[in-house]
Amino acid sequence: MTPAAPAGGRPAVILFSGGLDSATVLALALGEGWKVHALTFSYGQRHTVEVERARDMIARHPVARHAVADIDLRIFGRSALTSDEIPVPAARPAGEIAAGAPSTYVPARNTIFLSYALAWAEVIGARDLFIGVNALDYSGYPDCRPEFIAAFEALANVATRAGAEERARFTVHAPLIGMRKHEIIALGMSLGVDYGATTSCYDPDTHGRACGRCEACGLRREGFRLAGVADPTTYRP
C-alpha cells in the first residue's frame, strides 16, 4: 500500500531515476518535509525494468505524485546510454574520469530533465527542484557542475510566468553536488535508504541486475567499501 502523502509541506519536484544518488535525495527531501512530486524519465535503451523498479521504490514512500515522462533521445543519434549499438565502457581510472566527459555522456540530458521538472513545478506552484547530481565522482559531466545548476536557476527565473510576473525565485537543490559516493551512502544509511532496491548500472540485464564492471558500478562498489557498508547490490553472475 502506498503511504499517504504528508498533509503539510511545500511542493517540490524531485528528479528520481531510481539510482543511488536520487534515492538519497528523495529520502533527504522527504525528511525535510517537502511534498514530493517525483519525476522519472523513460528514455532510449533504458530497460523497462529500471522504470518499474523506480515505481516500486516510489510506492514505498509518502510522495504526493509520481510521473514518468517518456522521451526518446535516440531521434538525435547515438550515445552509450541511449543507443543499443555502442558497448558500455568499463570503469576508468579516477584520473581519466577527471579528464573529460566519458562516452556515456548524454548531450544536454540534465538540461532536458530539469526543463520538464520546471514545467511540472510551474503547473503545481512549486518553486523548488531537486536533482542528485554530483560534481566530484562525475567531474567529466558538464551538466553535473555547480555552474550548470546556477545557470539553470537563472534561466528558470526568466523562463516562467511565476518568475517573470510574481518574481518568485526558483531554487535548484543539488544537495549531493559536493559529496563523494561513500559520503552519500553514509548519509543515505542514516536516512534509512534501501540501497538494495536502487539501480546505478549503465548496463543492467533484463532482470535489473547490475553488470559490476561499468563506471557507475565501479564508483558504487568503491563507495560501499569506503563507507564500510556491505554492498547490497545484486550483480549478475
Site string for a second copy, 12-41 (x = CB under 8 A): ------------------------------
- 39 forms beta bridges with 15, 67
Site string for a second copy, 133-152 (x = CB under 8 A): ---------xx-x-xx--xx
In the numeric block, the cell 553535473 is attached to: 144
Rounded least distance, CB 185 to a second copy, Å: 27
Q: Which is nearer to a second copy, 164 or 191 (CB)?
A: 164
Q: What's the N-to-C CA distance of the chain in angstroms?
A: 32
Query: In 10 A of CB 158, how many CB atoms?
Result: 8
Does position 98 bind a second copy by CB under 8 A? no
Does position 101 bind a second copy by CB under 8 A? yes
Does position 68 bind a second copy by CB under 8 A? yes
Half-sphere exposure for 2 (CA within 13 Å, toward CB): 13
Instruction: Looking at the chain, list the stretches that DSSP marks H as alpha helix, in order from N- to C-terminal side.
Output: 20-31, 48-59, 94-98, 109-124, 146-159, 161-165, 181-190, 215-227
Options 22-30, 160-168, 179-187, 201-209: segment touching a second copy (CB under 8 A)? 160-168
Q: Helix, strand, or coil here: 176?
A: coil
- Interface residue list for a second copy (CB under 8 A): 67-73, 75-79, 100-101, 105-112, 115-116, 118-124, 142-143, 145, 147-148, 151-152, 154-161, 163-165
